[in-house]
Amino acid sequence: QVLTLLVLMYPLLRGLALHLHSAVTGSYIPGTHSIAFVNCLNEQIARDIARAIMDKKLAAYVNILPKSSALYFWKGELEESTEILLLVKTRTSKIGELSNYVRSIHPFEIPEIISLPIDQGNPLYLKWIEENVPRD
């Protein structure tokens, strides 16, 4: 029973140990922050969504990348379009809330909202993200 309990508690204990180590050493815990990608139909929609994300404090920084060509399957047909891409820098813990919010305001039936954890980076920049996106 003790072994089962330890196995079940390992993720929690590991997380606590990482946070304690980070607090003591000032080191970054990989995956604490993420970059989310959100596609938009045009620049106005992209700006509106980016501003809404920032107003809700769901991100510290949003890049609005210029038009790019896209090929994708939609309802069984190959489609081609141009899109604007948002790169959203935020806490990983905010990705669910960010995704729900963007889906609620995005004009696409199924908007692209995907994220990747940030493994490493400039410690001062990562700290800045943390300072500008409130905890849950």
Quick one: 41 and 100 in the same domain?
yes
Considering the domain architecture, whether residues 70 and 10 belong to the same structural domain is answered as no
CATH classification of the domain holding 83: 3.30.70.120
Q: Report pTM.
A: 0.81
Look at the chain and report how many structural domains it folds into: 2
The whole-number pLDDT of residue 51 equals 98
* Cα radius of gyration (the chain): 18
78 and 113 in a single domain? The answer is yes
What per-residue confidence (pLDDT) applies to 4? 76
- 8 Å CB contact between 39 and 84: yes
Q: What is the pLDDT along the chain (136 residues), one digit of tens a residue?
A: 677 776 777 666 656 665 565 656 667 888 999 999 999 999 999 999 999 999 999 999 999 999 999 999 999 999 999 999 999 999 999 999 999 999 999 999 999 999 999 999 999 999 999 999 998 7
Nearest to 103 by CA among 14, 41, 38, 56: 38
Tell me, yes or no, whether 99 and 57 share the same domain.
yes
